[in-house]
Amino acid sequence: MPTDLIERNIKDCPNYCAERKKISDSDDRMHLLEVNGLCPVCGNTLIEKSEKKTKHYEIAHIYPNKPTPEESKILNEVTVFGENSESFQNKIALCLDCHKNYDFHKTVMEYNVMLNKKRELYNSFEVKSELANIDLTQNIICLLNKISEMDFADENLDLRLSPLELKQKFSSSESILKRKVMNYVTEYFLSIKSYFENLENTKQLNFSRLATTIRLAYQTSAEYMESKTQIFDSLVEWLLSKTNSKDSIAAESIISYFVQDCEVFDEITK
């Protein structure tokens, strides 16, 4: 599928509705991966995992392939995705019930809700694909394992020594993520910093190269996502996938370290 999400007004696409074509097995799998196997509307599982996998989903058109006169009138000024109605970008995996409900007398509001779900899912899927090509040093795996064993009883982090205070990176609407990052930084920053310094002193790590890699991963996510929470979560998921780890707390603490160290998130401009 194309990297960039094609967005146009339906009025500018007189030939948007194309002849229906059968969905290939590869596209079907990509649609399922895009929604992580869950219906993006109701959250129900789309595949029943038993002795034989049973499909509980269909690939729905966001903009109708053959709109009725009433649908054409209602959706006469909406945004559409993709080159035409048969593009991957105009389709989404839905459970059978949600597909049926969506196809029945849709409103502009319902259409835009589905369109925004697709935009978020598509961009998230693109981020995962891009981040998969960014490799990490093996030492990060050791750090993930080590964090759960660290003793923080004597931690006393002086945030005044940081190059950029965390409050300069978050707006008032991002207080929950700010609080999470602050808690991780307060608990873990000095221990992680010490770990990296020991590795570098013993020639086991090039920290500058690692920091550049983290910065690249952040910039990649930021190209597709505006929400800092989404960016943070995508970096955590990338870190876990690259290290084959399931310790989300350790991964969040490491990404928080790089928020404080200035590789992740930029200062808010006023």
Distance CA 73, CA 60 (A): 20
CA dist., res. 212 & res. 172, Å (int): 28
Averaged pLDDT for residues 224-230: 90
pLDDT of the residue at 159: 43
- Mean pLDDT over each residue of the chain, to the nearest integer: 87
Count of CB atoms situated within 10 Å of the CB of 232: 23
Q: What percent of the chain is modeled with pLDDT above 70? A: 90
pTM, rounded to two decimals: 0.74
pLDDT tens track for 54-85: 889 999 999 999 999 999 999 999 999 999 99
Neighbours of 179 (CB within 10 A): 12
In tens, the pLDDT along 175-215 reads 999 999 999 988 888 888 888 898 889 888 888 888 999 99
151 pLDDT band, cuts 50/70/90, is: low
**Contact at 8 Å (CB) between 5 and 74?**
no
Give the E-state strand segments of the chain in sequence order.
7-9, 47-48, 54-55, 57-61, 79-81, 91-95
**Distance between CA atoms of residues 209 and 44, nearest Å:** 42
